[in-house]
Amino acid sequence: MIRIQIARLPHGQGLPLPAYATPGAAGMDVVAAEDLDLHPGERHAVATGFKVAIPDGYEIQVRPRSGLALKHGISVPNTPGTIDSDYRGELKIIMINFGAQPFPIRRGERIAQIVPAAVTQAAWEEVADLDQTDRGAGGFGSTGQ
């Protein structure tokens, strides 16, 4: 378990912190800080009312909730969303309505889940060419269905 600083913005007053719904949950559910109706095909960066300072070496991934996806076609188009450790703006959840009906997003309702994850940064080692493998450049179904 890591500790992540979280600060409440003025419009986050009264909202619960992102929280695990069950002891074994992988993601903390995040609630909306605003009310809006998301019409079919529309996207919106929904306010959460919080900002966070993630420790170096970690990120937060933003993922959809499967119930909203299955029942209403509500998802996160950039899933898994990436919250960088050096970001100090408001945590926002980009929501999209893939369904056929307008979907009411309401303040205090759980709209997505966030998963802290370790990040491995890499440095490039540029070379003239790469080693040979059996696969070579085969991909995109090259091994069959």
Ligand X SMILES: O=c1ccn([C@H]2C[C@H](O)[C@@H](COP(=O)(O)OP(=O)(O)OP(=O)(O)O)O2)c(=O)[nH]1
Helix, strand counts (H, E) of the chain: 1, 11
Pick the closer one to ligand X by CB: 10 or 136: 10
- The CA distances from residue 119 to 31, 59, 73, 138, in Å, are 25, 6, 30, 28
Pick the closer one to ligand X by CB: 10 or 23: 10
Pick the closer one to ligand X by CB: 78 or 101: 78
- Here's the x/- map for ligand X, 38-67, by CB under 6 A: it reads as ------------------------x-----
Residue 94 makes contact with ligand X by CB under 6 A: yes
CA atoms of 139 and 135, how far apart (whole Å): 8
Residue 117 makes contact with ligand X by CB under 6 A: no
Give the interface segment with ligand X, choosing from 5-13, 19-27, 86-94, 127-135 (CB under 6 A).
Answer: 86-94
Q: For the purposes of burial, counting CB atoms within 10 Å of the CB of 83, is it exposed (0-12), middle (13-18) or buried (19 or more)?
A: buried
Q: Which residues does 12 contact at the CB level (< 8 Å), separation at least 6?
A: 33, 48, 49, 50
User: Measuring CA to CA, which residue among 33, 35, 91 is closest to residue 59?
Assistant: 91
Shortest-Cβ-distance residue relative to ligand X: 81
The reply, when asked if residue 73 is annotated as ligand binding, is no
CA atoms of 15 and 13, how far apart (whole Å): 6
Residue 92 makes contact with ligand X by CB under 6 A: yes
Pick the closer one to ligand X by CB: 91 or 111: 91
Interface residue list for ligand X (CB under 6 A): 62, 78, 81-84, 87, 91-92, 94
Binding-site sequence positions for substrate = 65-67, 78, 82-84
